[in-house]
Chain A
Amino acid sequence: MKTGKGLRFTAAGLAGVLALSACGGGDEGSDGPANLRMTVWSANEAHLKLLNEIADEYRKNHPDVSAITFDPLPFENYTTTLTTQIAGGNAPDLAWIFENSAPDFVSSGALLPLDDTLKKAEGYQYDDISPATLKLWQDGGKLYAYPFSTSPFGVFVNTDLLKQAGQKTPAELIAAGQWTWDAALAAAGATQRTTGKAGLVIRDFDYKGWDNLSTFWTGWGAQAWSADGKSCGFAAPEMVDAMTALHKAIFTDKALPGPGTTADFFAGDAAMTVTQISRASLLKEDGFGWDLAPLPAGPKGDYAVVGQAGIGVLKRSKHADAAADFLAFLTNPGNSEKLAQFFPPPRQSQLTAETLAKTNPKLKPEQLQKVVIDGITTGVVKPNHAGQAELSQQVRAGLDPLWKPDADVKAVLDGVCAKIQPLLAK
């Protein structure tokens, strides 16, 4: 009996201790060597390997930094996860930020101004950074994130599939001065009818990610909202024309796969796809014949659209200065050139076909010039606005009635503006 009671007592004590220890968290003091963490969207092995190599090199000369960890968060929920980490008191020291959340982060005061650190860094050549790429990341004359990746949109083409359908390739159309959306959609529709495969896919749109449609409507001179962000642009005549053309291409010509239908270009399921050039890494060596073309001209002529991502330092990081110093090292001219193979740099001296060709073996110099360099220097950034998540949800819900064969395009777009104008006017 006595032994039984003792055992019971000890077991209960152990259970209590276990519970208490389970509730205890790790402890990372602010004193001592800094342990830096940076959230990134990519879990790509090659991306992380290069980032880790640069971090290791940095740590050799910085004993005050004990570790630099790159923490990949899933792309789909990246910003939500990041802000939840911040809300939970677990903010990273550095964070990758997408263009659609740039205005929120930049204007919130959450990020550390970087101008002084970057300008003072040895051999940094701050003036080499293209001013056009900095615009999104500045507020009140201060830079709050470094434009780490400025990736233009282009059209990847499955030349085998187009030839099988008896269609001209974009290269041939470009040579003939006929590379327009009309021609691209006609080729896409014909390929779909002949081969049964999808014609053209606007990647990551899938009837939800509407901001990717800016790669289409910018050709008509349309925009989601005015430059000052105050007025809705969905009901404008340019947008109505663009969306009417898109609606016809989807439901009449079948040039794009319809709602609820998936087709992966990189698996050989589609003739063309509009996406960022960084997706070239998805092309297989022994796959189909392919090409990369700039976006086709719209009624308003040639244009380019870019997606941007910046890296910022969180002000509430315990080691914000060390993090800013590491960012200066990560983006110095030498490392920027290394990173250019994955992330097109904002440095003007590196935006040459020769430099980019060294690290982009899959792309030809003329592709790099037409799509990447011209795109970065002249491109319009994808839609971005303060409170973008809420706006984005309202636009998605507002556009849903458009994705039916008998939709009234003008009425739907008027409805979108009715939904988002109060948010824009805030």
Chain B
Amino acid sequence: MSQTDIRVGGAQAPPTPGHTSRPWWTSRRRDQLAGYLFIAPQLLGSLLFVLLPLVLVVWYSLHEWNVLAGTFDFVGADNYTALADDPNLGPVLRATGLFSVGLVVFNLALALLLAVLLNQKLRGTTVFRTIFFSPVVVSLVAWTIVWGFLLQDNGGVNGLLDTIGVDGPNWLRGEGSAMLSVIVVQVFKNVGLNMVLFLAAMQGVPAELYEAAEVDGASRMRQFWRITVPLISPTILLTSIITVVGSLQVFAQIAVLTQGGPGTSTTVLVYYLYQQAFQFHHFGYGATLSILLFGIVLALTVLQWQMRKRWVFHES
């Protein structure tokens, strides 16, 4: 439609002096206005609830805000100095890193394995796909609360282990086991989503490539590494970005299962930020921590995007 309009417009003679100019309210402007009005709800929402808070967070980070006393004092870079001197920050970043690495490795590996298994032309694969995907649509808090019961010392997981003669640990009370538990609960919750993405990507790989490889005598494993992985590498990039960013935002699982404990072993950055801002009422420092989080997410995303040139073989 627009091409026709342009051609018709282009064929018109330029207005000669003395002629009245074209009306301002043209159909083109009307279309433009309609377009802007259509995006207005989304635009306003983004401005109000994304962009404005982002700017405000920077502003808050330069202030000491005492909510109860109602004071809001400019402190310059004090919160950033406090961030550099915070003795808790090291353990918090370590816990955050551990969680992210654990989640990304377990999640992507399991999702890829499930996708490979469920990509076979066998009876019943649809049922298994549904089963593995179903936790994705379950409420996160409900899922976590149920796992909280299962992981108690006298809970379902240890009950199950007991039947095979294994004395399970007190999952949520041991420093290592608590982190492992939180990671596993999160992996089981979301692995279905990555699995579906991998499945879709695998089904887009042309069958003739495998046929040719078989003719050449390539084993199934060789076909997987030489054909499947390179051709689904854009999806691996996408899922890894989504999973890394998601892992840095983990909150509900920590709040429900461990509250950052035992000790500070599961106090990840978002939970620490919540504690500082909403429990200890250090809103200015909380804002500073959120800027740190923003910086980390941005840096990791840019890094992954840059690295795609090295390991994404096939990008449409």
Which A residues contact B (CB, under 8 angstroms)?
5, 8-9, 11-13, 15-16, 18-20, 22-23, 80, 83-84, 86-87, 104-105, 108-110, 207-208, 258-262, 316, 387, 389-390, 393, 396-397, 400-401, 403-404
Which of A18, A87, A397 makes the CB contact (< 8 A) with B261?
A: A397
Contacts of B65 in A (CB 8 A): 87
Residue contact A208 to B259, C-beta cutoff 8 Å? yes
Q: From residue A398, how far is it (CB to closest CB) to chain B in Å?
A: 8
Q: From residue A383, how far is it (CB to closest CB) to chain B in Å?
A: 16
Residues 240-270 of B at the A interface (beta carbon under 8 Å): 259-264
Residue contact B37 to A83, C-beta cutoff 8 Å? no
Contacts of B126 in A (CB 8 A): none
Give the residue name and chain of the B residue nearest to A422 (CB). B87
Which of A8, A20, A86, A262 makes the CB contact (< 8 A) with B152?
A: A262
Which of B41, B68, B70, B151 makes the CB contact (< 8 A) with A104?
A: B68
Knowing A23-B48, A259-B153, A260-B153, the reply to whether A109 touches B261 (Cβ < 8 A) is no
Knowing A397-B263, A400-B261, the reply to whether A110 touches B173 (Cβ < 8 A) is no
Residue contact B280 to A83, C-beta cutoff 8 Å? no
Residue contact A109 to B69, C-beta cutoff 8 Å? yes
Residue contact B173 to A207, C-beta cutoff 8 Å? yes
Knowing A16-B37, A19-B45, A84-B278, the reply to whether A110 touches B259 (Cβ < 8 A) is no
Question: Size class of B's contact patch?
Answer: 35 or more
Complex CA gap A390/B155 in Å reads 31
Residue contact A80 to B171, C-beta cutoff 8 Å? no
Give the residue name and chain of the B residue nearest to A79 (CB). B279
Residue contact B70 to A316, C-beta cutoff 8 Å? yes
Complex CA gap A119/B30 in Å reads 69
Residues 63-103 of B at the A interface (beta carbon under 8 Å): 65-70
Q: From residue B177, how far is it (CB to closest CB) to chain A in Å?
A: 10
Among B67, B69, B172, residue most surrounded by chain A Cβ atoms (within 10 Å): B67
Q: List 15 A-B contacts (CB under 8 A).
A: A5-B34, A9-B30, A12-B34, A12-B37, A15-B40, A16-B40, A83-B278, A87-B283, A108-B66, A109-B68, A258-B170, A260-B172, A316-B70, A390-B279, A400-B263
Knowing A108-B69, A389-B281, the reply to whether A260 touches B44 (Cβ < 8 A) is no
Contacts of A80 in B (CB 8 A): 278-279
Residues 198-248 of B at the A interface (beta carbon under 8 Å): none
Residue contact B68 to A19, C-beta cutoff 8 Å? no
Residue contact A110 to B263, C-beta cutoff 8 Å? no
Contacts of B31 in A (CB 8 A): 5
Contacts of B24 in A (CB 8 A): none
Which B residues contact A (CB, under 8 angstroms)?
27, 30-31, 33-35, 37-38, 40-41, 44-45, 48, 65-70, 151-155, 170-173, 259-264, 275, 278-281, 283
Residue contact A20 to B263, C-beta cutoff 8 Å? no
Contacts of B155 in A (CB 8 A): 260
Contacts of A5 in B (CB 8 A): 27, 30-31, 34
7 cross-chain pairs, A with B, having the tightest CB-CB distances, nearest first: A12-B37, A19-B41, A260-B153, A108-B68, A400-B262, A110-B68, A390-B280
Complex CA gap A38/B67 in Å reads 18
Contacts of A83 in B (CB 8 A): 67-68, 278, 281
Give the residue name and chain of the B residue nearest to A88 (CB). B67
Contacts of A104 in B (CB 8 A): 68, 281
Knowing A83-B278, A261-B152, A393-B279, the reply to whether A12 touches B38 (Cβ < 8 A) is yes
Q: From residue B28, how far is it (CB to closest CB) to chain A in Å?
A: 11
Complex CA gap A219/B106 in Å reads 49
Give the residue name and chain of the B residue nearest to A263 (CB). B154
Contacts of A389 in B (CB 8 A): 279-281
Knowing A16-B37, A109-B69, A387-B280, the reply to whether A258 touches B44 (Cβ < 8 A) is no
Knowing A13-B37, A110-B69, the reply to whether A261 touches B280 (Cβ < 8 A) is no
Knowing A80-B279, A84-B278, the reply to whether A401 touches B263 (Cβ < 8 A) is yes
Residue contact A393 to B30, C-beta cutoff 8 Å? no
Residue contact A397 to B48, C-beta cutoff 8 Å? no
Complex CA gap A108/B44 in Å reads 37
Residue contact B44 to A23, C-beta cutoff 8 Å? yes
Contacts of B263 in A (CB 8 A): 397, 400-401
Complex CA gap A260/B260 in Å reads 15
Which of A9, A18, A84, A208 makes the CB contact (< 8 A) with B41?
A: A18
Interface contacts beyond A19-B44, A80-B278, A87-B283: sample of 15 additional A-B pairs, CB < 8 Å, sorted by A: A5-B27, A9-B33, A9-B34, A12-B40, A13-B37, A16-B37, A19-B41, A20-B44, A23-B44, A109-B69, A207-B173, A260-B171, A389-B280, A396-B259, A396-B261
Give the residue name and chain of the A residue nearest to B258 (CB). A208
Give the residue name and chain of the A residue nearest to B265 (CB). A400
Complex CA gap A377/B68 in Å reads 31
Complex CA gap A83/B279 in Å reads 9
Q: From residue B162, how far is it (CB to closest CB) to chain A in Å?
A: 14
Contacts of A110 in B (CB 8 A): 68-70
Complex CA gap A12/B151 in Å reads 51
Give the residue name and chain of the A residue nearest to B151 (CB). A260
Residue contact A19 to B279, C-beta cutoff 8 Å? no
Q: From residue A79, how far is it (CB to closest CB) to chain B in Å?
A: 8
Complex CA gap A393/B281 in Å reads 13
Residue contact B280 to A208, C-beta cutoff 8 Å? no
Residue contact A15 to B37, C-beta cutoff 8 Å? yes
Give the residue name and chain of the B residue nearest to A392 (CB). B279
Give the residue name and chain of the B residue nearest to A83 (CB). B67
Complex CA gap A389/B275 in Å reads 9
Contacts of B283 in A (CB 8 A): 87
Complex CA gap A338/B280 in Å reads 36
Which of A15, A84, A87, A259 makes the CB contact (< 8 A) with B170?
A: A259
Complex CA gap A13/B36 in Å reads 10
Q: From residue A32, how far is it (CB to closest CB) to chain B in Å?
A: 25
Contacts of A401 in B (CB 8 A): 262-263
Q: From residue B1, how far is it (CB to closest CB) to chain A in Å?
A: 10
Give the residue name and chain of the A residue nearest to B261 (CB). A400
Residue contact A105 to B280, C-beta cutoff 8 Å? no
